[in-house]
Structure 1
Amino acid sequence: MWQAPPAPAPFETEWLPVLDMPAPGTQNRLTVAFRIILLIPQFVVVWVLSVAAFFIAVLGWFGALVLGRLPVFASDYLTGFVPYETRVNAYLLLTHDRYPPFAFHTPDHPVRVELRPGELNRLAVFFRLVLAIPAMIIQGVLYAGWWAVSFISWLVVLILGRMPQPLFEATAAILRYRMRYMAYLLMLTSAYPKRLFGEEPGSVPGGPVSATRPLVLSGGGRGLLVAFILIGVIAWGTGSITTTVTSDDDETKQVTGPLLPGPLLPGPPQSGGPLAS
């Protein structure tokens, strides 16, 4: 007797990395006042880890071209590195008052990143740097905007002893986009960075898991995020770098050009933002 074929398995969508953060709470004003100084040891550690991440990512790129996924050694290191950098960034951007530990795996820390490395499209792996350029520009503009008014944000948190909800939402959106950009660049996901302006209420089955899963932006949060983007575009567009160029006839000239974001992989602390690319 003829039987209908079994129903096809549901289509498995690509996993978009998730950032879990607690709602903004009371912060110690003393640690807020000296936040950057307190993070100097972390800046050094992140710089060292990022150098290792660069070489591991290069080796992982060759492996992903052959295997269609990251080799285990690269996946293990990079899935520890991205959350580590994210925790340092979250503390730096004043979202909470819990100092990031010097460890990759910290299940008790309030800032958590869920990554699920899997199969990769070899063509997308081959052109990864080119494909990542739009996301690199977006996250560069976001960080430029946040840091352009960072003194005001710092002063608000210092006076209130906590980060206001709209500022937290906009900052969390920036942190999450940066994390997703890094995860895509380092081939930890095939999902391109998206949903900068968050999700709709009720988008997570079973209810909210954390203050940022789902990340639902209020009108104030969206307004601040748009303001950061506009300020970032202005700061990025009007900034400039001057380079000394010597021509073949030994004539020295000063060439001024637009200020571009930092390297694709995070580097040592810079004046525009310790971990911003």
Structure 2
Amino acid sequence: MDLPEPGRQRRWTVLLRWLLLIPQYIALLFLWVAASVVLVVGWFAALITGRLPEPIASFLTGYLVYSTRVTAYAMLLVDAYPPFAFLAPDYPVQVEVHPGKLNRLAVLFRIILLIPATVVVELLIFGWYVLSPIFWLMVLIRGRMPRTLFEATAATARYDMRLYAYLMMLTAAYPKRLFGDAPAPSEQPGSATRPLLLSDAGKALVVCFLVLGAALLIFNNFISATNNTSTTSQPSAASQASPSEGVMTRLGVRQPVRQQQRTTTAVGPPRLPL
């Protein structure tokens, strides 16, 4: 994935970024439905022939490239509005995909193989979006994204793109290099992210995304489990009352005060709902 160096961004587009993204997400919704159907057909074809048919590979590649552009725009990596097209050679975000030969066994167990990388991506995205109001405010005030934040966000977006490329069988390579590429002195940089070199601060921020995403996920599950336990363990009023009390209440008969006091003492004070 090629991205330009972090440059100036128009503050009004940063301010209205989520409103500007609504048409893009509507288009992506319809494309996602079509891509899901095409992907199922492509899975059977790849399982039999060992590669995606050319029309299917072309459509899924276009969908991946387009969705990656929208993701980069949503994550404040670029200021240019994404065009509604699969092919956009002049857009600052470019993705190279080269579909080829696939391992049939890896195609068969694609979903199982994707579980570890999917967990990583979910934690990354969750952690990033929790902090996104702070990032949005920083870019809005400064008019550009800080370099460290750019590195960590680009690494997150690139790993997410590689996950979906592997899911859609556009590559046989498993998602890797979350923390950037190894430096190659003889290689001329093709863009700000080719190779993607993360500073120590950028790597630390990626780790922060992972830890924050994991912590919030665990906390959310703990709260849900606590609420479910409290709901199931709380006795109902009908279960606290004796059978005779229930019958007498339905008949409109009032118990003597002394019997009511004994019942209250035996049962104890009413429990407050948690």
Moved over 6 A (4+): none
Counterpart residue number, 1:70? 52
Counterpart residue number, 2:39? 57
1:229 to 181, 198, 210: 210
* Equivalent residues in 2 for 1:85-234, closer than 5 Å: 85-202=67-184, 206-234=187-215
Find the residue that maps to 2:95 and give its secondary structure.
strand
Bigger strand share: 1
Counterpart residue number, 1:14? none
Distance 1:86 1:253, change over 3 A: farther
Find the residue that maps to 1:110 and give its secondary structure.
coil
Find the residue that maps to 1:112 and give its secondary structure.
coil
Aligned mates of 2:77, 2:211 — CA distance in 1: 22
Question: Does 2:219 align with 1:238?
Answer: yes
Aligned mates of 2:173, 2:48 — CA distance in 1: 20
Q: Is the 8 A contact 1:70 1:117 kept in 2?
A: yes
Note the aligned Cα RMSD (angstroms). Answer: 1.7
Q: Which runs of 5+ in 1 are unaligned?
A: 1-18, 244-251, 255-277
Q: Which runs of 5+ in 2 are unaligned?
A: 226-230, 234-274
Aligned mates of 1:216, 1:123 — CA distance in 2: 33
Counterpart residue number, 1:10? none
Q: Which sits farther off after the overlay, 52-61 or 231-240?
A: 231-240
Q: Is the 8 A contact 1:202 1:208 kept in 2?
A: no
Find the residue that maps to 1:86 and give its secondary structure.
helix
Deviations 1:236-256 (A, max 9, x none): 22224969xxxxxxxx969xx
| Letter of the 1:164 counterpart | P
Counterpart residue number, 1:46? 28
Shift of residue 206, structure 1, vs aligned partner: 3.6
| Letter of the 2:53 counterpart | P
Shift of residue 200, structure 1, vs aligned partner: 2.1
Identity %: 53
Tell me which of the two structures has the higher relative contact order, counting C-alpha pairs closer than 8 angstroms and 6 or more residues apart.
1
Deviations 1:91-110 (A, max 9, x none): 00001101000000101110
| TM-score (norm. length: structure 1) | 0.79
Aligned mates of 1:60, 1:253 — CA distance in 2: 46
Q: Is the 8 A contact 1:70 1:187 kept in 2?
A: yes
Bigger helix share: 2
